[in-house]
Amino acid sequence: MKWTWKRTLAAVCAGVCVAGCAAYWLGKSSDIIRSGVEVDALTAQQEENLYKLGKVWGYVKYHHPAVVSGEVDWDQALFDALPSVLEAASGEAANQALAQWLEEYPVPDTEGQEAPQGVEGVEGVEIVVTPDDEWTQDETWLGQEVSQYLTQLREQPVEAGKLWMNFQMESKGSFDTQDDGAKLLGLFRFWNTYEYFSPYVSLTDQDWDTVLQEGIRPVVETDTMGDYILALAQVTAQTGDGHVVFNDSNPPSVWWNQYGDYYLPCSLTLAEGQLVVAQTDGEDTGLQPGDVLVEVDGTTIEQRLTQLRRYFVFSREDAYLNQIQAQLVQTKGATAQVTVLRKGEEVQLQVGTTKNWYREKNPYQTGLLEGENIGYLDPSTVTSHGQLEEWMGQVQDTDGLILDLRHYPGFSMHNELGEFLIPQPTEFARMSFPDPTTPGQFFTVEGACSCGKGWLAQTGQGDQEYPSYSGKVVILMDQRSQSRSEYTIMALRQCPQAVVVGTPSIGTDGDMETLPLPGGLTVTFTGRGVYTPEGEQTQRVGLQPDVWCEPTLDGIRAGRDELVEQAIAIIQGDTQ
């Protein structure tokens, strides 16, 4: 039988990864979470004990067959362990408490059982992330009994069909904010999920173990739901993962509404190293395109950036607008006092605000550029294969195409566009999948991320014939280009006549997963990694343009789109 990447992936994952089901057993459903554990005054020893418990609890959660299969309510098991671990007056006493707790969950005897097939040695597969579990063998830190228990678990076969479960079915659960056990459950659940199911755990702002150590006290010492949310947000922000987003089911969201629930009627961009008004919602707002934003309601932009770094992910220090643009223009009332720099002069404004966050409008429409024999695609406006094929027919005989991937595609369109633009199937990326038999391990499959003429037919996704496009292709990109936009850019720049124009993308690529947390919260994160075909990292790096082009203050004031202008010049042969 001929080897293909899809057959390899199916063989090692039983089809689970192909379906995109990355899920984890969270504990039995319950409308209300109660641990009965409250900590009066957290000591340094208790803090260390909890750190150890959090790591051990998470390791057992994803390695013990009875826990993986859902036979044991591991959330309740955490609550059972907390009192004795908190009472332990030393590290040795904590180790003994952990050992006694783990005795209730003996490691099964698997002698003679055939281990499930893993990914090692499978043709076309490369292991790209391995779990960091050397700490489980540290008898000085864990004690001999606990270390040996974890070492035994390390050798336990994990059945893929049991590890991968639909966590969307589990209750998120409310709780009393004085219940410290429930709050620790939220911290431990997120930390361990990211530890074992993120391909990017090595790219966090701080060492991930340090994040857990330093996150315990702030979480335990919270008194309100708002404080709890922000304490968790300080943990999630350390991931550096631009897919991390909190969703609070009890609005107004403390995490989202950092400065109020009104907004300045404008969009922002970065130009010449400054935060600049890009568009305004009407001409009578007082704000003007090209204004450099300095201060809003007595808070400088620098102060806002400093505070927001605590709770929001900055994929890169110079690429943050996707995550916090709304917060930078938030205010508390119907009017706001705003300071801007306008052509070098400081101007004080009283600006009327709006309850709706203004989203920038694209002055260009998908179709043909006015007065030019050039096709333009705003991928956010195309949401179906039929619409895409209609546009492709419209632009077939043009001199060139502008694919504006500063805008997020309405659906996954790279395969179909690849048939149109790329002469033969070409690998454009490597995607890492979680190994369903080894928590914390990720692998890539050669050829899985390919596109080009004949790829859809080769993979059984259709036999339609697509005409080849021979004109120039310019792809626009900037720090707004994220996730699906980045993946599409990686694919379409394989077109021989393609040129990528703009500035680096944000560096946030891969599929998003959603994790429920106690308190009716959910948090998203990246569950698959995306790399170049050579295996180089894109996360927190961003894609690099072929031609550097960025907006200027003068261009913004004049209402020009300098990236589109550069694209037109390239297509018309006025520049290289």
Q: Exposed e or buried b for every residue in 439-461, given b needs 16+ CB within 10 A?
A: bbbbbbbbbbbbbbbbbbeebee
pLDDT at 405: 99
Residues 372 and 339 in one domain: no
**Does one domain contain both 232 and 272?**
no
Q: Is the same domain home to 197 and 327?
A: no
Q: What is the pLDDT of residues 304-340, one digit of tens each?
A: 999 999 999 999 989 999 999 999 999 999 999 999 9
Examine residue 322 and state whether it is found in any structural domain, yes or no.
yes
Give yes or no for residue 400 having a pLDDT over 60.
Answer: yes
Phi-psi region of 121 (alpha: psi -120 to 50; beta: other; left: phi over 0): left
The answer on 425 and 293 residing in a single domain is: no
Residues 159 and 230 occupy one common structural domain = yes
Res. 160: pLDDT tops 70: no
Task: Provide the H-helix boundaries in 358-517.
Answer: 385-395, 414-421, 455-458, 484-492
Residue 358 lies in a domain: no
Same domain assignment for residues 171 and 320: no
Q: Are residues 278 and 195 in the same domain?
A: no
Which pLDDT score, from 0 to 100, does residue 6 have? 54
* Residue 385 sits in the same domain as residue 517: yes
Question: Are residues 436 and 560 located together in one domain of the fold?
Answer: yes
The reply to whether 371 and 346 lie within a common domain is no
Is 256 contained in some domain? no
Same domain, 371 and 343: no
* For residue 247, pLDDT beyond 80: yes
Q: What is the mean pLDDT of the chain?
A: 92
Phi, psi of 524 (to 5 degrees): -100, 160
Q: Is there a domain that residue 11 lies in?
A: no
> What's the whole-model pTM score?
0.93
Residue-wise pLDDT tens digits, 211-227: 999 999 999 999 999 99
Whether the pLDDT of residue 16 is over 70: the answer is no
350: three-class secondary structure by DSSP: strand
How many distinct structural domains can be found in the chain? Answer: 3
Structure tokens at 379: 């991928």
Domain with 142, as residue range(s), is 22-239
Q: Are residues 216 and 101 in the same domain?
A: yes
The verdict on residue 26 lying in a domain is: yes
Question: Is residue 333 one of the residues assigned to a domain?
Answer: yes
Q: How many CB atoms lie within 10 A of CB 435?
A: 25
Residue 165 pLDDT exceeds 50: no
